[in-house]
Structure 1
């Protein structure tokens, strides 16, 4: 039985572990965090990722955890609606197979799907890799030396496996010119159920979304003009206060909530572009290989697709990891390239840098409510132009 070390217990990692187990492999998950991550942001989930979740039997649980958003609404300084559209059109474009849910909830459901059948090591990380003729020698920060037949990096935008096996992040990262922050608050007195609200000024956006359990998600997207990037929680909060210092709408209340926050997601909106996703016995999936960026809205689904295809190609190749890695990349490369190009076009729509850009974005949003408008604007982006193979899974 071949052993596979998977770095990362977010979306791609547990999905890969599930399907590798089905294929007769012995996967081990290692996650640097002490537990599954909470908070973050919500994702729109559809297409082939949705199909894979169905094959894993997760749709009922996803339906209970998720949200059926009725409207995306853009508001002005006083909270008045200036543009927006009903989201029923997305149900129409996807045949009803569309839902919004917290990324952390999807991660938890995927983790639960492996149900204790896979070794999981939390609060540890890979610090060294050495490929040898018949295995990869791995050194863990706390777990010492171990050996595996294969190592897969599913550890996101800031992948340690990519850094150790392929080189520094700056060699592959393309900054799209924006930053993002997100946090949750409890008991916020303004809730608009199943509605996503956006407040925008040139180069800045605040999004608000009501979550289950009297929680509210706040998302901030802002132009990143090569400022000194903050790394501590205190500096990140100070950066947001500076960027939004003259914002109106609900910012005064949200600023107070920010001060009480102790779990803030804060990062650049970037893409990862690599000439190849594998080297020897080591391969990358999901954001570690090809982060399309948060702006694309499909990172979680693409992570699941890449995990499913890699596991399936390993199952199909009968032990030849070289053939499996090559087939995995051949099947997905052009598809991922197209998704990355779409994300580049879409990134500025969240927080256009000029007043004219805001006006034009709002006109496009208003066109969504016209017959055929949404299909013309986003129908191509919603389409998954790649076939999802039916691999043969040898149940163990």
Structure 2
């Protein structure tokens, strides 16, 4: 426990923000979450959850909730236009590499498990956002969209790839966001058939991939990834749907039926596949965690777990520095930057898995999927990535 409680404003109530609030509360600080959405957000795509993030979840006491919400995926299948399986890969090798600490779950379900630990213990300002940041040597003044004026000791941007805090304090997105050439969309629909339990089914055409995964309660999750030179958000729900129709109407397999089902979905996640690369993750009393600081992108497969790790390490370093934010922020960044850099390099190398440019590239990708059924090859190719090679620090939290 710290002897000097800090008032900490956290922009963003996704995963990174509530995870940080959890650890700050355990250290005796006073976090306030500020979230622009009118209520807690769910949705997003299914993520694989393992590694250091999983170990942080264990220390938070939410492992069982995560496992209950998760799915133990059995296989990944790549199918052709007629639905015939062209490549299949068992996933048990990855679970063994992770020592059994591996599950797959919707990102929103993980966020809910994290937020449940702080929901009734810290102030959360929904339907609000930071419109001005006035930093001083001894405090940070915030002006909120609601008109509130608040003062805090520290401000942390945990507000994702398109971080509001990063933009206001560090500069425009274009200075730090590196587009990897793809856009991604995801939605959850009810009543879709067929259902392949615990099988992640993908179909590829040159430059694009559609996938589906069966969820509980008669639901299915769709994921669309496609190469594009365009990066602007289409805007409205209808405009987003039209972009996907333009890309996938003639992509074969079940794509036309998936697009029709998508029209019934109330929410459609749509974003670019980008990384955030910054020379520094803090400035004065303002710092960044998660995708706001160092997004590795969808291609990395571990961004959410890394965000939880960053939240844990930041709090631990604040504790070790006895609240000296400058020393703590430097230690936090020095400890994590090598790990993040490795994850970003690895993510850049798997773009072709999601969106191979040619039929020949799809064929090669399928050959690679088949080869991953060989345990020794899985260990050789994926062993280091799954194990992380990062010693999670022990803090008195």
- Structure 1 distance, partners of 2:85, 2:53, is 33
1:308-345, CA deviations, whole angstroms, 9 ceiling, x for partnerless residues?
Answer: 00010001100210000000001011111111000000
Q: What does residue 75 of structure 1 align with?
A: 79
From 132, 136, 139, give the equivalent of 1:135: 139
Q: What does residue 160 of structure 1 align with?
A: 164
Q: What does residue 355 of structure 1 align with?
A: 359
Alignment of 1:8-23 (within 5 A): 8-23=12-27
1:178-199, CA deviations, whole angstroms, 9 ceiling, x for partnerless residues?
Answer: 0000011001121111110000
Alignment of 1:57-68 (within 5 A): 57-68=61-72
Structure 1 unaligned segments of length 5 or more: list them: none
After superposition, the CA RMSD in angstroms is 1.1
**Aligned-partner SS, 1:134:** coil
- Structure 2 distance, partners of 1:153, 1:143, is 20
Q: What does residue 7 of structure 1 align with?
A: 11
2:186 is the alignment partner of 1:206: no
**Aligned-partner SS, 2:263:** helix
Structure 2 contact 278–294 (Cα < 8 Å) conserved: yes
2:97 is the alignment partner of 1:96: no
Structure 2 contact 93–375 (Cα < 8 Å) conserved: no
2:290 is the alignment partner of 1:283: no
- Structure 1 distance, partners of 2:130, 2:119, is 24
Structure 1 contact 124–143 (Cα < 8 Å) conserved: no
Q: What does residue 172 of structure 1 align with?
A: 176
Alpha-carbon shift at residue 346 of structure 1 (Å):
1.1
Q: What does residue 197 of structure 1 align with?
A: 201
2:301 is the alignment partner of 1:311: no
Alpha-carbon shift at residue 273 of structure 1 (Å):
0.3
Of 320-329 and 84-93, deviating more is 84-93
TM-score normalised to structure 1 length: 0.97
Of 174-183 and 373-382, deviating more is 373-382
Q: What does residue 389 of structure 1 align with?
A: 393
- Structure 2 distance, partners of 1:212, 1:68, is 13
Q: What does residue 106 of structure 1 align with?
A: 110
Of 169-178 and 241-250, deviating more is 241-250
Q: How many pairs does the alignment contain? A: 393
Q: What does residue 51 of structure 1 align with?
A: 55
From 120, 130, 133, give the equivalent of 2:124: 120
- Structure 2 distance, partners of 1:52, 1:76, is 39
**Aligned-partner SS, 1:260:** coil
Alpha-carbon shift at residue 245 of structure 1 (Å):
2.4
Q: What does residue 32 of structure 1 align with?
A: 36
From 170, 179, 184, give the equivalent of 2:188: 184
Give the direction of change, closer, same or farther, for the CA distance of 1:249–1:106 in structure 2 (3 Å limit).
same
Alpha-carbon shift at residue 348 of structure 1 (Å):
2.1
